[in-house]
A and B are shown apart, each in its own frame.
Chain A
Amino acid sequence: MRIAVLSGKGGTGKTLVSVNLAAAAKASTYIDCDVEEPNGHLFFKPEGVQVEEISVKIPKVDHELCNGCRKCVEFCNFNALAYIKNKLIVFDDVCHSCGGCILVCPESALTEKAKVIGKIKKGVSGEVAVWTGVLNTGEATGIPIIKKLLEESSEVNKQTFIDCPPGSACIVMESIKDADYCILVAEPTLFGVHNLNMVYELVKLFNRPYGVILNKCLEGENPAEKFCLEKNIKILGRIPFDNELGTLNSNAEIAVNKNEEYRELFSSLLNKVTKEVQHETTTNP
């Protein structure tokens, strides 16, 4: 069962929720797909970490075979190739690894080589398997890393929690593509609701079953709750705005491991989510 946790706006509590649900579920897998700024590992402090480098294919030129026809330069839609003083230059950082230049070269002067763009770190924290994707700074896209993470997770039999990146751009899409259920984390602010709307549209577009967890709940009117009621979105639960929870979180401590109250809170949230997912998979297989 793969559960993605997303929010649209940054800082609403994706990591708080995904880390604590994984910890409450005990024998589970936590996957951090926020490859630009991964944080889950700071909470789990996994041990026995194994690192797998992730690379993409980029062109390599054999200057002896290249005859300067420039078909590759003309073909490349990303401007990753230039031909200067009878020499072809490849710009690794700009290349999208489409393989087109290799196909168009009439002299077979272009072949492919691997370029490392990041890594996947797998470790263990108690009973939780912690997988973290990390994109190297300066690299264009983390999608190949997310693809690999999710590909490998399809063989995992345990409950899996996917911590998604903020926003609703294609990197988020990639993270939810194969999820069985999406938890949208919302905060009770004007900005929070605006961005909640975006991911709400995204999960609907991708036909993923979803529900909302309202985080940082205070007394009084909650614009995020209002939004859910208006749109008939299932509210899975509420996490109160709580200084102690905030402090634990800011010190990268896993709340369910530190406090009975939070253990109960997240365990019951977990039960609710599990029931929802089972219900969804039986009614919409």
Chain B
Amino acid sequence: MKIAIPVDEKTLESNVCVSFGRTPYFLIYDVETKESIFIDNSAAASTGGAGIKAAQIIVDNKADVLLTPRLGENAAEVLKPAEIKIYKTITGSAKDNIDAFIDGKLPLLDEFHAGFHGHGGN
């Protein structure tokens, strides 16, 4: 099973990033092999639709589960057909959250905020 987490730095000890769409990196953690891969989030530089692009990246990297503090409704719409389960993170590092998830302690994330339309009146 592969777990995706938005992180501020490329380490397991990194804090979970408060934003999904504009996180600098994603950690993809393989539960079976215990391998960690960090990918750059190219969506962060987008002026708009960052959540959509970031979600596409997660899907393309074959994640099964996403751990995130919050998620926009557009990103959720991308993850739904891909059948990726979404859980809400707790304060702490990526490692803390992976452990908590494996122990079944993380709740499902079921509240999605409205899209931000990063672009403006143009």
Contact = CB atoms under 8 A, between A and B. Distances in A.
Is there direct touching of A and B in the complex, by C-beta distance under 8 Å?
A: yes
Interface of A: 73, 78-85, 87, 89, 91, 93-94, 96, 138, 140-143, 169-171
Contacts of B61: none
B110 interface: no
A89 B49 contact: no
A87 B59 CA distance: 13
Interface stretch (B4-12, B31-39, B112-120): B112-120
A78 B46 CA distance: 7
25 contacts: A78-B46, A78-B48, A78-B49, A78-B119, A79-B43, A79-B53, A80-B49, A80-B52, A82-B55, A84-B56, A84-B59, A84-B81, A87-B81, A91-B49, A91-B115, A93-B117, A94-B48, A94-B74, A94-B115, A94-B117, A138-B114, A140-B117, A142-B121, A170-B122, A171-B121
B78 interface: yes
A141 B114 CA distance: 16
B121 A169 contact: yes
Nearest to B54: A79
Main SS of chain B's interface residues?
loop
Given A73-B56, A82-B56, A141-B120, 14 more contacts: A83-B56, A84-B56, A84-B78, A85-B81, A89-B78, A89-B81, A91-B49, A93-B115, A94-B49, A141-B121, A143-B122, A169-B121, A170-B120, A171-B121
Q: Which of A83, A89, A141 has the most CB of B within 10 A?
A: A89
Interface residues of B, number: 24
A93 B72 CA distance: 13
A84 B121 contact: no
A79 B49 contact: yes
A96 B117 contact: no
Contacts of A96: 119
Contacts of A81: 52
A96 B47 CA distance: 12
A28 B48 CA distance: 40
B56 A93 contact: no
B3 interface: no
B63 interface: no
Nearest to A87: B81
